[in-house]
Amino acid sequence: MIDIALKLAFASVSLAQILAMVRLIKGPCIGDRILALDTMVVNAIALIVVLGMWGGTQLYFEAALIFAMLGFVSTVAYCRFVLRGDLIE
């Protein structure tokens, strides 16, 4: 039962990642592209977590945590660069 649910979660999150990538390529304005990158980071965290459940290991959680932190920092950095023109004033 859990195997089927894990496969379903893998398929759904992968499809979500592909859809976000379509918006990243298509996105008419910069805000859309930043948002698509943010969504892709969140979906990557979901994929890592599901992979950890699949393998029954705790090894991947540090990777997921670092992904979360780097995703937030990169989103804020992109937004500040677009808003202010530079990052460190």
Partner 1 sequence: MIDDLIGQEEAFVAWLRSLDAVGIADAATVVMLCAGAFFALVGSVGLLKLDTPMKRLHAPTKASTLGVGSLLLASMIHAYAHGEGSVHEVLIMAFLFVTAPISANFISKVNLHREDVDPTPPPPKDSTWATFDTSPQDKAAPDRP
Residues making contact with partner 1 (CB under 8 A) = 1-2, 5-6, 8-9, 11-13, 15-17, 19-20, 22-23, 28-32, 34-36, 38-39, 42-43, 45-46, 49-50, 52-53, 56, 58, 61-62, 64-65, 68-69, 72, 75-76, 79-80, 82-83, 85-86, 89
CB of 17 to partner 1, least distance (A): 7
Q: Are 41 and 71 in contact (CB under 8 A)?
A: yes
Q: Tell me which long-range contacts 15-19 makes (C-beta under 8 A, separation of at least 24).
A: 16/43, 17/43, 17/44, 17/47
Distance between CA atoms of 36 and 25, rounded to whole angstroms? 9
CB of 60 to partner 1, least distance (A): 10
